[in-house]
Amino acid sequence: MDLEKLLELEDRIGIKFKNHDLLLQALTHRSYLNERPKWHLDHNERLEFLGDAVLELVVTEYLYNNYPNPEGELTNWRAALVNSIMLAKISAKFELNDYILLSRGEARDTGRARQYILANAVEAVIGAIYLDQGYVACDGFIKKFILDELREVLESGSYKDYKSLFQEQAQERAGITPTYEVIKEWGPDHAKHFHVGVYLEKELIGEGVGPSKQDAQQAAAESALKNRGW
């Protein structure tokens, strides 16, 4: 990727980097290095790790300072703002997909796996901003692109805990407590993916996929609520 392309992304996110390699590393997916072993930068997973922590802190601080709600509600709101589905959606605000460096195989996959790649890249970009510009710049970026979604999250009720909701409905309507089983898991330890099913007794009601068992269970519960019309 040439400098002109990086400058284009900088314009989109409103951040001018001192060290462009930090931004470039944030865009470098692990698969890209498999085809380019002489690439001069590491992949973006360490930046993702850092950015995840910064993102959670900024969102937590904002919610704490602006809403008197109890901890449980704030936790659910935060989860709705920082999950992979939301971050992938936010990535479209600055067309991040156009800048990610992927292997040819990964570039062809535009399904759910791409969603996680984009979400992780958003976190990596936040990590890069933190190292290059500090906390204040991260705070501005997160408020502009991520906390901007809070009103919609609250109005739509998307912060709700689908697993708890499905359990309540299943017990009330069917007298059964749902159970969850991992149908399939794949990927290396640092990037696992889980396919989970939720069952009422032996009947499969919904399925979900996620980067953790918890995320996959939430997706399965949401699917089950829709499938049952609850």
Q: 193: which strand partners?
A: 186
| Enzyme catalytic residues | 52, 123
Residue 189's pLDDT is 77
Q: Quote the percentage of the chain above a pLDDT of 70.
A: 100
For the chain, how are helix, strand and coil distributed in percent, rounded to 5? 65, 10, 25
CATH topology of domain 3-156: Ribonuclease iii, N-terminal Endonuclease Domain; Chain A (1.10.1520)
> Is the dihedral angle over the CA atoms 68, 73, 74, 80 positive or is it negative?
negative
Instruction: Strands of the chain (E only): list them.
Output: 179-186, 193-200, 203-210
pTM of the predicted model over 0.95: no
Report the C-alpha gap between 1 and 227 in whole angstroms.
44
Asked if residue 190 has pLDDT above 80, the reply is no
180, 217 in Cβ contact below 8 A?
yes
Residue 1's pLDDT is 83
Question: Within 10 Å of residue 144's Cβ, how many Cβ atoms?
Answer: 13
Asked if residue 38 has pLDDT above 80, the reply is yes
Q: Using 50, 70 and 90 to split pLDDT, how confident is the model at 45?
A: very high
Q: Provide the angle, in degrees to the nearest 10, between the axes of the packed helices 45-66 and 71-82.
A: 140
Q: Using 50, 70 and 90 to split pLDDT, how confident is the model at 119?
A: very high
Mean pLDDT is highest, among 4-8, 80-84, 160-164, 214-218, for: 4-8
Report the C-alpha gap between 103 and 95 in whole angstroms.
19
Where exactly does CATH 3.30.160.20 map onto the chain? 162-228
Chain position carrying tokens 């979604």: 149
Q: Which two tokens stand for residue 107?
A: 């570039």
Residues 6+ apart with CB under 8 A from 18: 132, 133
The DSSP string of 202-218 is TEEEEEEEESSHHHHHH
Where exactly does CATH 1.10.1520.10 map onto the chain? 3-156
**Per CATH, the architecture of 162-228 is what?**
2-Layer Sandwich (3.30)
Q: Using 50, 70 and 90 to split pLDDT, how confident is the model at 192?
A: confident
Over residues 94-118, the mean pLDDT reads 89
Look over the chain and give the mean of its residue pLDDT values, rounded to a whole number: 93
Q: How far is CA 132 from CA 58, 138, 191, 193, 218, in A?
A: 17, 10, 26, 31, 35
Q: Using 50, 70 and 90 to split pLDDT, how confident is the model at 72?
A: confident
Residue 187's pLDDT is 87
Asked if residue 191 has pLDDT above 80, the reply is no
